[in-house]
Every structure is written in C-alpha cells, then in structure tokens.
Amino acid sequence: MTGLLAHLRRRIALEGPLTVARYMEECLGNPAHGYYMTRDPLGAAGDFTTAPEISQMFGELIGLWAAVQWQAMGAPDSVHLVELGPGRGTLMADALRAVATVAPFRAAVQVHLVETSPVLRDRQRETLAAAHPGVTPQWWNDLSQVPAGPALVIANEFFDALPIRQFLRGPDGWRERLVAWDADAAALAFVLSGAQATSPLIPPPLNQAPEGSLIEICPVGLRKAHTLAARLAAQGGAALIVDYGHDRSAPGDTLQAVKDHQYADVLIDPGAADLTAHVDFQQLAQTCIQAGSVTFGPIGQGDFLIALGIGARVQALTAQADDRQKAAIDAAFTRLTGAGQMGRLFRVLAVQHPGLPAPPGFE
C-alpha cells in the first residue's frame, strides 16, 4: 500500500468518506505524496503534454496578446504579468521572448508565477534563468498574494486541475458522490452521501437535470475566478483562460486520471496520476461577470490562435527550416488548432476590466 493510500485510509476511518474535492486535494497537493508536489509531470517522459510544450508559437502569441492588452490599458509604467500554474515556465519564457521587441512593454513588466509545487518552481526557475537571465520572477502560492496594481493574467490548463464536487440525482433528490474505503475489496470506492445535498450547492442551470444525472461543480475554481475578476475590475487589466471544457453547463462525469499519456482509474494508485475535470465555462464566466469584469468567449483554441496570426508565424518559422523541422512545425500547428485535436476541445475565455475594448482574437 502506497503512502498516500495508507494516509487516505486512515483519514476516511477518522472522518468518514471524503468528498471528491478533498480526494483530489490529497491526490494532487498532499505535501508528502501529492502528484504535483513530488514530480515534473510534463513532456514525453511525464504523463501529459501542454500546448506550450508542443510549440513555441503558443506562448509567443499569448505574449503578444498581452502586449496589445497593455497598450489598450493605456500603457501603464508598471504591470504585473502573472501566470497561474506555469508548468515548466515554457509559456512565460516564450511570451517574454516574443515581446522583446516591444521595449516599453518589456520594461513595464514584472513577472509573477503562482505555483504551489516546489518541484515545478525549480523547473520554472531553470527555464527562465536560461532563456532570460535578467528576469527575476516572484513566486506566490495564490493570486491573492500578488501585489496590487494592473495585471495581465494567463491561466493555461489551470482550472481543470482544481478540485470538483460531484452530485447524483436520484428519486429523492441530489446526493453527493464520496470516496470511501471498501473493506471487502481492500480498495477505494465511490459511494453516495446519506443526506440530500442542499440546493444552494447545485447551479441553477443544472438543478432540474433529470433523475440519474451526475453534475460537477468546482467551488475552488469559482472562488479563484471571483478573486481574479474582482481584482481586474478594481485595479485594471485582463486575463486569458485556456482550458478544456464545455461552453454551457451540462450534466456529465468528466473526472479523469492520466498516467503515462493514458487514461487510468481515478481511484487506483492515488497520487501517481494527474486528476482533472472539464471546466464549466458558463459558470466561470458568470462568476467573473458577477465580480464586476466583462468576458469574451469562450471560443475554440484553434479559432483564437488563427485570429492571432499563427498561420503567419508558421510561415516565418518554416521559411528557414529544413524538411524535418517543417514537418514538426506543421504537426504542432495541426495539434494546436485542429478541430479533432486541441483546436476545438480547448476553449479560450477572456476576462477584463469593463473599460477595455474587445481583446485580440475576440473582436
């Protein structure tokens, strides 16, 4: 029995079955055994690959998007460039390289990385030190710790890893899905709560879902979205949220585990696989609007990147590339923008101060 599994079994024995959210928190963020706290999960040698690791074009275009937004904000002398969940720091490194020619913006930028994993902080430090020796980023555990002032915030594959709660509608109403210890099977198992879930927990668009429906909510994600949007409304700035999910709230079990680039059982070998769930962009956008910001989208990642000019960037990169490099660039373009790949599954939502014009890619 692994260390985390033994810990979970003890916790369940003391406290009773865990919500799916608490289970995810333990699997991903347990200080001693959590998935993100103990490893670098990215790349071919890891468990999954994100858009910045596929091609430099992704981070470059987002960097230029931020520079245009800064100009729309009135080109303040100082602006916080913040990334939530920055992975290895690849996106930030590519973004800073792309805006090097926009000297006033580059001079105004202060880099902030919101990251809780000590392993990934080390990787981010290495990446940025190698690519931009003069950059001195600041690390924080939460966006709320970033100093006050106008900000440009990037969240690529951040919200999907935040813990969700699940509810199943039965003949007598909603009951929460929990994680318990099955003594007979000597394994973790899903069970339902004995008490009905209170109605405020169920989003209005989903409260009338038919019997047998399973729905997901992400209270932590909505709280973070509210903090983000309230800050932008009060202090100025814009945010770009890129993640996989659905535009409209709908029932469905999207909780999944990924290990070695393959789907895995979410209850087997906790702490050894990445756990994620699809982002409910309708709930996310409504929360941001309630906090005082305005939103644009969501739109497909492919449409967004094409609107930003990824086609021209492909041409520029292939102009001086050999055949092998051209094939790799074309493959990356297809993977990032293709309807059958990340281009449609991944959605892009812009959140910004009400006084700003429509952002690039959403005009």
**Digitized pLDDT (tens) for each residue of the chain, 363 residues in all:** 578 999 999 999 999 999 999 999 999 988 888 888 876 666 555 555 788 889 999 999 999 999 999 999 999 999 999 999 999 999 999 999 999 989 999 999 999 999 999 999 999 999 999 999 989 999 999 999 999 999 999 999 999 999 999 999 999 889 999 999 999 988 999 999 987 777 677 888 788 889 999 999 999 999 999 999 999 999 999 999 999 999 999 999 999 998 877 888 999 989 888 899 999 999 999 999 999 999 999 999 999 999 999 999 999 999 989 999 999 999 999 999 999 889 899 999 999 999 999 999 998
Which residue intervals of 154-235 are DSSP H helices?
219-235
User: Could you tell me which CATH number the domain at 36-163+217-352 has?
Assistant: 3.40.50.12710
Enter the pTM of the model: 0.93
205 preceded by a cis bond (ω within 30 of 0): no
Residue 54 φ/ψ, nearest 5 degrees? -80, -40
Task: Give the start-to-end residue ranges of the domains of the chain.
Answer: 36-163+217-352
Look up residue 153 and give its two tokens: 């915030």
DSSP 359: P
The answer to whether the beta carbons of residues 105 and 99 sit under 8 Å apart is yes
200 preceded by a cis bond (ω within 30 of 0): no
* Cα 229 from Cα 237, distance rounded (Å): 9
pLDDT at 172: 86
Which residue intervals of 109-218 are DSSP H helices?
118-131
pLDDT at 274: 87
Helices 20-29 and 3-15: angle between axes, nearest 10 degrees? 150
